[in-house]
Amino acid sequence: MAGRGRGRGGAGAGAGAGQLKGATWEYDASIQLESKPADLFPKHPNLRKPAPITTKERREIDNFKKLQDQIHRGPLYTQPTKRDPNAPAKTFGEEQFNKQFGTNSKANMDPFHGVETYSMRYAPKQRTLPKLSDQPFNKTLFPEELWSTLEGEEGQEVRNHLNRAMERKEAMLASMKAAENGAGSGAGNGADNGADKGAGADASAKTKILLEKIHKVAGDEDNEELEEEQDAEDVDDAYEDEDLGEDYNAEGYFDDGEDDQEDEADGGDENY
Amino acid sequence: MVSSSSAPDLAGLATRIYDELLPLQKEDSYIVFHQNDIFDLDIIPSDPQGNHDVNLALRVLQKLTDEKLLKVVHDPGMGWKVRTREEALKYRGLTTEEDLVYSYVDEAEDEGAWTKNIKSRSNLHEAVIQAALKKLKSRNLISEMKSVEHPARKMYIKSNLSPNDRATGGPWYTDGELDTVFIDTIMNTLFDYILKKTFYFSKSYGGPMKKEPKKVIKKMSPEEARAKRDQVLGAEKSEEELDEKSKRMKYYEKNLPMPAGYQAYPTLDELTVWIEAHKFFTQTLTASDLQQLLDVLEFDDKIEKVFIASGGLAYRALRKSMLNEDDRGSVLNEAPCGRCPVFDLCEEGGPVGPSNCEYFNEWLLL
Amino acid sequence: MAPSKNAVELMALLVDEAYGELTSRIFTILLRRGRLPIRLLSMHTLLTPRQLRHGLAVLIQQGLVYHNLEVDTGTTFYEANDDAAYGLARAGKIMDVAENRFGPAARDVVHKLFLLGHCSVSDLVTAYESKNKDHANGNAEGSSTITNDVNGQSVSPVDSIGQLHSVLIQLLDSGFVEPVVRSMFHSPEDTHSMIERQILQESFGGSTKGAKQKDELKLKIKNRMNAIRAEREWKGNAKKRPLNGEHINGINGTNKRRRLSNGSSTVSGDPLIEDDGSRLDPTLVIHINYEKCNVALRNEALVAFAKERIGEITSLIFAQGLAILEKKIPRCRINPSIDKVVDLPDGPGFTTKELTTVLSKAVNPGTGIGKASSGEVNTRALERLESRKHKSEEVKIEGDVSMGDGPDEEPTINGHTHLSDIEDDDDPFEEGDKSNPAKRRKLVTFQAESSGDRENRLELVKKHLMLLATDDAKFLRRTGNNGYGEWTCDFETLVAKMQESEVDALLLENFGISGHRLARMLRRLGKLDEKTMVDTAKLKPKDIRTKLAEMQMAGVIDIQEVPRDSNRTTNRTIFLWFFDEARAATMVTEHTYKAMSRILQRLDIERRRAHDVLALTKRSDVRDFDPEVYLDANQLNDFRAIDAKIDNLLCQIGRLDGLIGLFQEF
């Protein structure tokens, strides 16, 4: 009896359980044990309506949802990079686990819907790396090897490059007073936008066109300059303005996967 | 030993003894008479020294036995039981073998005799026994019986007896089958009585608060208010049901527990008397019969034992036993996963998983 | 104990729900593979070291990953903290716990702590300051500052930095929030081996010889671990401004304090916390203490259990008793490698008097218990029985149950239970037994004024406590007679009883009345053969066989073969059935983990299916507004449908979490 152990887990009605160790009775063909689903989804024994949500549970759920919403808006959340957006829910089986993630979402971009459109400008920004600069850290509580990451020293050179690019952009922008101006600071301006929604529509349309041009310029240049830099795209994500940039990235860094690869410990098989 | 003047009147003595013993036997069917009992009747004459005439006694008893009016039993040592005259008649005209077989069935009384036992004890040939049994059956002296304890055995019992509790299984068996309908009826009757005696129904109980605190209304934040409205708007269908349930729960909450140390919970004796007095059932149910069912009710988690001051045990109902099944189900079974028939297979990416789960489809629309 | 496959899956999903893909990928591999350095993590996750460093920073910040530098090799290892990961599922409940105890401001602070992970007091202050400034400017919030507002209009429940400090002190005093020290970032195993190494060096010259030294080492390690834990405990060293000497520990007493003029958002009836002038050290780093939160959640579960078994009023009084105990209980389960197992006969306790003093006036102890005539109640016998039982179990009773010592001795013992003050007019029992002097005295007390009322209330409360103590689940145990009775709660047995009750509910539903009956019979009577079961359970043999087979297949019960002789043939073997409580509990836990995972996955699917409408509400320009305002009718319907689904699924998560708590943590 002990041989069955606890490890069996689950309802335990696994395949091997068919033999009953101690059959104290004669075989009775009329006894039917529920087994062998004929259909994929045999009739469920009791689908019932759950008890209504109590006021306490209502508070707890609201707390939870509100917290989750805040976390997702906050700097630490990273969006999914699922290669196939229509794939079923997440798998955590040992084998398939890593395969389900794209190493670079841009490389798998849908050319029709993936490009940022005007109407998408209010969509929450997609982030694949947490934006650590927006969160206070007590460095001493972290292992030393992470300190540079926390301080944003990492890729300092990259930043220098970007800064130069930004300077150029800013020079062009300097003449304009656009709503999106503050973007580079890292503080999102959702509510700003909300406030300006009506009045600023015209202005932002113009700005948009202009900015696109700017990005083209900056992007192309950066692309050349940063070719040997690692993880340039990610740096961009971390330091670049959040409301702009999907198209910019797409054009600029579709070769990014290779960059990543240099950083892989085992070279990785990226091209599954 | 003093010799008597005349030859003893064997027949007369036999009749007198038989007439004395028969009423005693009728009074107590289990009684067995021994040699001393016969002498105590003072029918067999004794000498002046008080010595019984054993020899004469044996002759008289032998005569009665021959006439089948007495039956020899071993109880321990030799003893006799008395048969009625009609009974004795049945024995007459039996062959020795049939007599022997019949006496085994007779001796087994209400437990019934197993053919295998008859065979081993009588040392008769199987065919002889079968023939004898057939004859006895045809003369309606014995009949077949079923024992609950040993359903596979071929058993016989005297026709004028009914099998005892061990063979029939007691009051809970009808025709050798457990009568679950009967059992459930009695259990429910017992339970209802205990339930009524366990709780105090308070018409006026309205909840913990003396008055509705205003906080409840004020406290609701805009989101909560909205959530509440959503709930009402989004799930109109559920409202009625919800109401019914809350009504049910309200009623349930009005059943208050009795204070600690309460002595008036029903005891086994009280329950037994009550069942008997109300003649709910044609059968007489003893305290130990009912005890068995009370045990089952305890296993069913519907009642529990309480110690009372008199040192005895009483029973009270458990509060949750008032709830119907829907209200006391496990949390785990609320979601479809609880009793999902294919849960072991369920894995995202497999043939059955959360994304294609039909149970969830249905459940989310409930 | 390493988490099971189902637990790993669930935790990965929880981390994913909260912090997104990058972190959950790292966390999953750490859970699966144990402690790893970045180099190996990179190999297993196919993530770049740079991505890993970012992800790990987040995970450490949120307390989800331990780290430890191995000095010899100079390598830093990372290890998953599964308790913290599971805690994510409880966030909603923990915020509610904070709100119940200390009001909306506390909930808001806890909310922020969940967002920030561990943080210093000054960081928290900054977070609030920047938000309040936004308000002052009529500006909606910036993206990275953390906000709690709806419509950008309602005012934060925390309306001054001073109040923030006071709230934090409350949370620290109560233990729901604790100071963070470096040693917490090492996993328990790492801490243990580190201490072991140290002590070996210090006291044993590198290694131990013999069993005696080994025991000594163990004891020393335990002492040191205990000391380390004690060190980080909050000692209440807040600095107070002069001229404000008011004590800071009052929880309910705070109501009396003057309200700040701008404290308009606080709601009457809620406990209020206002600035009392105390200030915390701004460099103090704090985080949420899950261990303590579990104590509060356990209390809630126990109260619900008492309500189910006894009744609502009694459960509310029980809740108050547990609230008193809560302050004295830092964690649910004793950790044998840290805690000294002391043979204390009784855990922390409270007296009837203490409880009655703090019991909310809204709770009327005069109701909730049925009325009985005095002749029908005998509490003396009850107490005799109680003490007899204790003596037979050789449990030493402190304070002794014998009557008549101490000034607080209750005035009547026998027959005082007539509840003439119950606000209930349908008394079916005639008033009897006027000759009982004790009772007459009681009746007089009812008419007396305030002091009598108080005494009366004490008596009424005591009746409820006695109900709790005499219930089969043993919610309370009486330890003495001071203060109208002293009580303690034996959590371990009580929780075991609750687990049993939960398993029973499942058995009843899954295997019907007969399966439930058989399993409970086996639990009570031990191993049984089939024939005994037929006799005892009053079920047909054939039904029993089918049911036993069904339950065996499900793994709930099992069979043992006892050969009667050396020929191990079937007909010379006795087959005994038995019920394994521990295994049933494990099965419930595993099933629950898996069900929670499936629900979370389904939640993800539902969200994706409703992506169009949900994306609208997440737009940065409208996300702070009520969807009712900007969605058109169709969109609104869609939104409500998906929102209701999400709520239903989350509600299930919360309820299932109750099971996990019950079987894993309480």
Q: Is the pLDDT of residue B352 over 80?
A: yes
Q: Is the pLDDT of residue C297 over 90?
A: yes
Q: Is the pLDDT of residue C195 over 80?
A: yes
Say whether B241 and A41 touch across the interface (CB within 8 A). Answer: no
Please report whether residue C272 resides in a domain.
yes
Q: C649 and C593 in one domain?
A: yes
- Which of B130, B155, B174 terminates a domain? The answer is B174
Tokens at residue C136, please?
Answer: 């002052």
Say whether A123 and C604 touch across the interface (CB within 8 A). Answer: no
pLDDT under 70 in chain A at which residues? 1-38, 81-126, 153-272
H/E element, C463: helix C450-470
Say whether A146 and C56 touch across the interface (CB within 8 A). Answer: yes
Residues forming a β-bridge with B307: B313
Q: C121 and C202 in one domain?
A: yes
The pLDDT of residue B211: 42
Mean local confidence (pLDDT), C620-647: 83
* CA dist list (Å): C617 to A62, C58, C645: 16, 26, 16
Please report whether residue C148 resides in a domain.
no
Please report whether residue C532 resides in a domain.
yes
- Which of C579, C595, C628 terminates a domain? The answer is C579
Q: C312 and C196 in one domain?
A: no
Residue with tokens 């049994």: B133
Q: What is the 3-state secondary structure (H, E, C) of C614-642?
A: HHHHHCCCCCCCCHHHHCCHHHHHHHHHH
Q: How many domains does chain C have?
A: 5
Q: C591 and C550 in one domain?
A: no
The boundaries of the domain holding residue C194 are: 98-141+154-257+268-291
Mean pLDDT, chain C, as a whole number?
Answer: 77
Kindly report, residue by residue over C432-443, the tens digit of the pLDDT. 333 444 433 333
Q: Is the pLDDT of residue C360 over 60?
A: yes
Q: Does A6 touch chain B (CB under 8 A)?
A: no
Task: Say what percent of chain C tops pLDDT 70.
Answer: 77
Interface of A with C in 133-172 (CB under 8 A): 134-138, 140-146, 149-150, 154-155
Q: C323 and C177 in one domain?
A: no
The pLDDT of residue C153: 37
Mean local confidence (pLDDT), B343-359: 85
Contact C431, C442 (CB under 8 A): no
Say whether C561 and A230 touch across the interface (CB within 8 A). Answer: no
Mean local confidence (pLDDT), C608-636: 80
Q: Contacts of residue B233 in chain C, CB cutoff 8 Å?
A: 640
The pLDDT of residue A207: 55
User: pLDDT-derived band of residue C650, with 50, 70 and 90 as boundaries?
Assistant: very high
Q: B84 and B145 in one domain?
A: no
Max mean pLDDT among A33-42, B210-219, B309-318 falls in B309-318
The pLDDT of residue C93: 93
More confidently predicted of B241 and C426? B241
H/E element, C590: helix C581-609
The pLDDT of residue C95: 93
The pLDDT of residue C193: 85
**Which stretches does DSSP call E strand in C481-592?**
486-488, 557-563, 573-579
Q: Contacts of residue A242 in chain C, CB cutoff 8 Å?
A: 143
CA distance C128 to C133: 8
CA distance C310 to C368: 9
Q: Is the pLDDT of residue B347 over 80?
A: yes
Max mean pLDDT among A93-97, A155-159, B10-14, C537-541 falls in C537-541
CA distance C283 to A162: 34
Q: Does A11 touch chain C (CB under 8 A)?
A: yes
- Burial grade of C494 (CB within 10 A; 0-12, 13-18, 19 or more): buried
The pLDDT of residue B149: 72
Best C50, C589, C655 member to test A by mutation, with max A CBs in 10 Å, is: C50
Say whether A92 and C12 touch across the interface (CB within 8 A). Answer: yes
Kindly report, residue by residue over B93-146, the tens digit of the pLDDT. 777 778 788 878 877 777 788 888 888 887 888 888 888 888 888 888 888 887
The pLDDT of residue C408: 37
Q: Is the pLDDT of residue C314 over 80?
A: yes
| Of B160, B84, B145, B92, nearest in space to B115 by CA | B145
Residue with tokens 């401004």: C241
Please report whether residue C91 resides in a domain.
no
The pLDDT of residue A212: 57
CA angle B343–B347–B349, rounded 5-degree value:
145
The pLDDT of residue C223: 83
The pLDDT of residue B110: 77
Q: Contacts of residue B329 in chain A, CB cutoff 8 Å?
A: 48
Max mean pLDDT among B116-130, C136-150, C429-443, C465-479 falls in C465-479
Contact C218, C100 (CB under 8 A): no
Measured in whole angstroms, the distance separating CA B243 from the mean position of its chain's CA atoms is 43
R_g (Cα) of chain B, nearest Å: 36
User: pLDDT-derived band of residue C579, with 50, 70 and 90 as boundaries?
Assistant: very high
Best B324, B339, B357, B362 member to test A by mutation, with max A CBs in 10 Å, is: B339
The pLDDT of residue C344: 59
Q: C467 and C325 in one domain?
A: yes
Residues forming a β-bridge with B257: B199
Tokens at residue B177, please?
Answer: 């089958």
Mean local confidence (pLDDT), C485-506: 91
How would DSSP label each residue in B172-196? GEETTEE-HHHHHHHHHHHHHHHHH
Best B256, B294, B326, B340 member to test C by mutation, with max C CBs in 10 Å, is: B256
The pLDDT of residue B219: 43
Q: B24 and B74 in one domain?
A: yes
Q: Is the pLDDT of residue C516 over 60?
A: yes
Q: B138 and B85 in one domain?
A: no
- Which of B36, B56, B89 terminates a domain? The answer is B89
| Of A13, A11, A9, nearest in space to A33 by CA | A13
Q: Does A51 touch chain B (CB under 8 A)?
A: yes
The boundaries of the domain holding residue B18 are: 10-89
Tokens at residue C90, please?
Answer: 């409880």
Say whether C13 and A92 touch across the interface (CB within 8 A). Answer: yes
Residues forming a β-bridge with C363: B209
Q: Does C16 touch chain A (CB under 8 A)?
A: yes
Distance in Å, alpha carbon of B304 to nearest chain C alpha carbon? 8
Q: B55 and B99 in one domain?
A: no
- Which of C532, C559, C579 terminates a domain? The answer is C579
Q: Is the pLDDT of residue B14 over 60?
A: yes
Q: C354 and C285 in one domain?
A: no
Distance in Å, alpha carbon of B30 to nearest chain C alpha carbon? 28
Best B342, B347, B364 member to test A by mutation, with max A CBs in 10 Å, is: B342
- Per 3-state DSSP, what percentage of chain C is helix, strand, and coil (rounded to 5)? 60, 10, 35
Say whether C652 and B343 touch across the interface (CB within 8 A). Answer: no
CA distance B167 to B149: 6
Q: Tell me the residue length of chain C.
A: 666
- Nearest residue of chain C to residue B187 (CA atoms): C538
Q: C360 and C345 in one domain?
A: yes
| Phi, psi for C190 (deg, rounded to 5) | -60, -45
Lowest-pLDDT range of A158-162, B36-40, C476-480: A158-162
Q: C391 and C321 in one domain?
A: yes
DSSP category for residue B265 = S
Please report whether residue C87 resides in a domain.
no
The pLDDT of residue C519: 93
User: pLDDT-derived band of residue B162, with 50, 70 and 90 as boundaries?
Assistant: confident
Q: Is the pLDDT of residue C4 over 90?
A: no
| Of C327, C285, C51, C41, nearest in space to C184 by CA | C285
Q: B98 and B80 in one domain?
A: no
Say whether B214 and C628 touch across the interface (CB within 8 A). Answer: no
Interface B-C, measured as beta-carbon pairs within 8 A, has a size of 226
Q: Does A34 touch chain B (CB under 8 A)?
A: yes
Q: C374 and C508 in one domain?
A: no
Spatial neighbors of B266 by CB under 8 A, at least 6 apart, are B193, B194, B197, B274, B314, B315
CA distance B219 to B212: 13
The pTM assigned to this predicted structure is 0.71
Q: How many domains does chain B have?
A: 3
Chains linked to A by 3 or more Cβ pairs within 8 Å: B, C
Say whether A89 and B348 touch across the interface (CB within 8 A). Answer: yes
Lowest-pLDDT range of A81-90, B176-185, C525-534: A81-90
User: pLDDT-derived band of residue C632, with 50, 70 and 90 as boundaries?
Assistant: confident
Mean local confidence (pLDDT), B29-44: 81
Please report whether residue C630 resides in a domain.
yes
User: pLDDT-derived band of residue C475, with 50, 70 and 90 as boundaries?
Assistant: very high
Say whether B262 and C644 touch across the interface (CB within 8 A). Answer: no
Residue type, B169: G
- Nearest residue of chain C to residue B304 (CA atoms): C472
- Burial grade of C80 (CB within 10 A; 0-12, 13-18, 19 or more): buried
Q: C615 and C559 in one domain?
A: no
Of C57, C123, C142, the CB nearest to A136: C123
Please report whether residue B197 resides in a domain.
no
Q: Is the pLDDT of residue C483 over 60?
A: yes
